[in-house]
A = this chain, B = another copy of it.
């Protein structure tokens, strides 16, 4: 029997808003409601929680209690460094006062990580970047990106920080836009406690091969976490994992297992119009099929085909395992 743990960002169970449906895709939900919904997903063990909570009066004790009754624990805390006050950037905001606020919010999040015994502070600086040609001094912007996270990691040497890169949105161009750029930045920080949270979909729509991105992060000793979803390679659609790119998803998990990477398989999906429990169950059910397919796959024959760069054989092996495991 599998010991694989599954997780999800708690926002998976929120209702969403966008620039058109400004009244939201459903009535707003409290964090406690989201946790109680998450608890109804089969096989979900851990969640990633945004901080600060939407309801500032909500206590950590109440959250903990809700988690406990749903058999959930916390893998990470995601500070909300992309809301209104940070709309012109968190670590790269032109205003040093806002940069200070971002630092403080992340330090607060670090304390919540400690409180819950979580694995990491997750940093997704979605407003750090640019929109227009000529808008920024690219050297300074990148310096602020690197120094802002380096400072945090130095202030909290007992904790891990993970960076979730993404090509764009909400900014037209995010400063941490790719696996390689993020690794360059992390190398420049020179600290052991900064790594990558690799989002399968971000790699995909950034033109990367997610399996290659995972391997590169692993080879740099920086793959600290991951989550999956799917999209049409042009945008971060956050669709149900396996719905569009099952073969590349399989290759991604093949790469993790080949490298004996062990960690939670997380979901980062945005079911705008669907039942969020059904979408989570649907994804996990597919991931369990992938687990079985990995057990069945002939790793030696695959390695042999890859050493010859023989795509036809490699794909046949992959198909024989994947398309017979459901």
Contacts and interface: CB of A to CB of B under 8 A. Distances in A.
A326 B324 CA distance: 6
Q: Say what secondary structure dominates the interface of chain A.
A: loop
A286 interface: yes
A132 B311 contact: yes
A19 to B, nearest CB: 5
B22 A83 contact: yes
Most chain B beta-carbon contacts within 10 A, residue among A132, A207, A246, A282: A132
A56 B249 CA distance: 47
A315 B130 contact: no
A105 to B, nearest CB: 14
Copy count, this protein chain: 4
A134 B273 CA distance: 15
Interface in A104-163: 126-127, 130-140, 142
Given A132-B315, A170-B20, A180-B181, A26 B84 contact: yes
Interface string A308-322: 111110111111101
Given A170-B272, A233-B234, A309-B94, A132 B324 contact: no
A82 interface: yes
What class of interface size applies to chain A in its complex with B? 35 or more
Minimum-distance CB pairs A-B, first 5: A180-B180, A132-B311, A323-B326, A138-B215, A180-B181
Interface of A: 16-26, 82-84, 87-89, 94, 126-127, 130-140, 142, 167-170, 172-173, 177-178, 180-181, 183-184, 187, 206-207, 209, 211-212, 215-216, 219, 232-235, 237, 239-240, 243-248, 251, 254-255, 270, 272-275, 278-279, 282, 286, 289, 302-303, 305-312, 314-320, 322-326
